[in-house]
Amino acid sequence: MKIGLVIYGSLETVSGGYLYDRKLVEFLRERGDTVTLISLPWRNYARHLLDNIDQTWWRSCDLRAIDVLLEDELNHPSLIAFNRRMRGSIPIVSIVHHLRVSEHRPAWQNTIYCGIERAYLSTVDGFVFNSQTTRASVEQLLGHAVAGVVATPAGDRFSPRISAELIAARAHEQGNLRVVFLGNVIARKATHLLVQSMAVGGGDWTLTIIGSEAVEPGYAHMIRELSSALGVVARIRWLGNATDSQVADELASHHILAVPSSYEGFGIVYLEAMSFGLPVIAGTLGAAREIITPEVNGFLVAPGAAIELAIKLGELEHDRAKLASMGIQARTFFDHQPTWHDSMSRILAYLTSFLSASQRSLQGPPRNF
């Protein structure tokens, strides 16, 4: 199969969505499929919309040898006119990690984004979704069911060997509760909520922040100023970008992963932490509820609920038996999740069926999986 993939920037960009795309490309190429990357430059949203007028990049794309075109939905503002132009001549499948309109922002802004995103989604022939939640959000925006496949991300990047005994022993170690945040330091990931909860909870737990501060430097600077103003600087470690080996070491040595995002289309880091036997604290909005069962393998906290977050962390700080039990449950949940190979195989099966259906009839929708 000859496949094109449209992305912004580099496939090596550090984020869960790009990791998903990267894993898919690696899988397809390993089995002998040809994947051609079509990279559009990163710009602001308004400039991306102008890509619909500027046909320069269209003319530079040779799609004659491509059987199916994959598009990361992140690129939606650039692709509306292009997709309308190509409709019927090449099958188009959108990989949706989460919709822009699902993110928290002023209502008037999301009203604008809603129209643009709906216009884009209406131009594609099939979908790959990273969660049932993402699929539901697309169908709600479009107002009807769509053909596609749900292939959840996996958390087996590290695949550590860890037993229930080791998880319990770590939970009962003497010393402060150790909490780790893993992700780009951006407003959507709600790092500020963790810093605020350190000041209102009265506990002594420590926080390690792993992730780039360069994506939203203003926000990262605000977090540093907030931690200073609240007097919790000494309890926070900033590690910045880290190698896979460093991330694995940190996950192995901490008790809890806390990434209380205002919205997640899935949350790969949640599964990765669970592979180390870490309970997970996430936000209530988005697909985290597909991973986390409250009071069993983690907690879900509402946006802005710093006191609630502090209470949950304080509970685990003082009840190490519960911490151990939740860690063991987290690892058990991880053990029953699909691997990257499983999920990428699911996408391949869908694309094969999709292409077969498209070749039989340009009007015939692909079947669901």
Q: Tens digits of per-residue pLDDT, 158-209?
A: 989 999 999 999 999 999 999 999 999 999 999 999 999 999 877 789 999 9
Do 321 and 177 share a domain, yes or no? yes
Do 242 and 228 share a domain, yes or no? yes
Residue 159 covered by a domain:
no
Do 268 and 176 share a domain, yes or no? yes
Do 172 and 297 share a domain, yes or no? yes
Q: What is the mean pLDDT of residues 307-328?
A: 96
In angstroms, the CA 316 to CA 229 distance is: 26
Q: What is the mean pLDDT of residues 68-88?
A: 93
User: Contacts by 317-326 with C-beta closer than 8 Å and gap 24+?
Assistant: 317/176, 317/177, 317/203, 317/204, 317/205, 320/171, 320/172, 321/171, 321/172, 323/171, 323/177, 323/255, 323/256, 323/279, 324/167, 324/168, 324/171, 324/172, 326/279, 326/295, 326/296, 326/297, 326/298
Residue 326 region, left (φ>0) first, then alpha (ψ -120 to 50), else beta? alpha
Q: What is the mean pLDDT of residues 206-235?
A: 96
Structural domains in the chain (count)? 2
Residue 367 covered by a domain:
no
- Residue 236 φ then ψ, to 5°: -120, 130
**Range with the lowest mean pLDDT among 102-116, 210-224, 237-251?**
102-116
In angstroms, the CA 348 to CA 26 distance is: 12
We report the CATH number of the domain holding residue 299 as 3.40.50.2000
**Tens digit of pLDDT for each residue in 125-148?**
999 999 999 999 999 999 999 999
Do 83 and 232 share a domain, yes or no? no
In angstroms, the CA 102 to CA 252 distance is: 32
Do 32 and 102 share a domain, yes or no? yes
Do 78 and 182 share a domain, yes or no? no
> How crowded is the C-beta side of 87, counted as CA atoms within 13 Å?
14
**Tens digit of pLDDT for each residue in 340-366?**
999 999 999 999 988 887 765 554 554
Q: How many residues does the chain have?
A: 369
Instruction: Confirm if 285 and 291 have CB atoms less than 8 A apart.
Output: no
Instruction: Confirm if 78 and 117 have CB atoms less than 8 A apart.
Output: no
pLDDT band of residue 369 (cuts 50, 70, 90) is very low
Do 45 and 124 share a domain, yes or no? yes
Residue 365 covered by a domain:
no
**Tens digit of pLDDT for each residue in 262-307?**
999 999 999 999 999 999 999 999 999 999 999 999 999 999 999 9
pLDDT at 359: 66
Q: Is 279 helix (H, G, I), strand (E, B) or coil?
A: coil
Do 228 and 125 share a domain, yes or no? no
- For the record, the structure tokens of 17 come out as 């969505």
Do 327 and 288 share a domain, yes or no? yes
Identity of the amino acid at 294: P
- For the record, the structure tokens of 294 come out as 């409250």
Residue 81 covered by a domain:
yes
Do 170 and 260 share a domain, yes or no? yes
Q: What is the mean pLDDT of residues 311-315?
A: 93
Strand partners, 128: 95, 149
In angstroms, the CA 205 to CA 237 distance is: 12
pLDDT band of residue 233 (cuts 50, 70, 90) is very high
Question: Model pTM?
Answer: 0.90
Nearest Cα neighbor of 23 from 154, 182, 184 is 154
Instruction: Confirm if 279 and 323 have CB atoms less than 8 A apart.
Output: yes
pLDDT at 206: 96
**Tens digit of pLDDT for each residue in 276-287?**
999 999 999 999
Q: What is the mean pLDDT of residues 55-64?
A: 72
Residue 368 covered by a domain:
no
pLDDT at 360: 58
Residues near 251 by Cβ (< 8 Å), separated by ≥ 6?
158, 160, 180, 182, 257, 272, 273, 276, 278
Residue 112 covered by a domain:
yes
Q: What is the mean pLDDT of residues 16-20?
A: 92
- Please give the residue range of the domain that contains residue 142: 2-154+339-360
In angstroms, the CA 300 to CA 195 distance is: 17
Do 298 and 213 share a domain, yes or no? yes
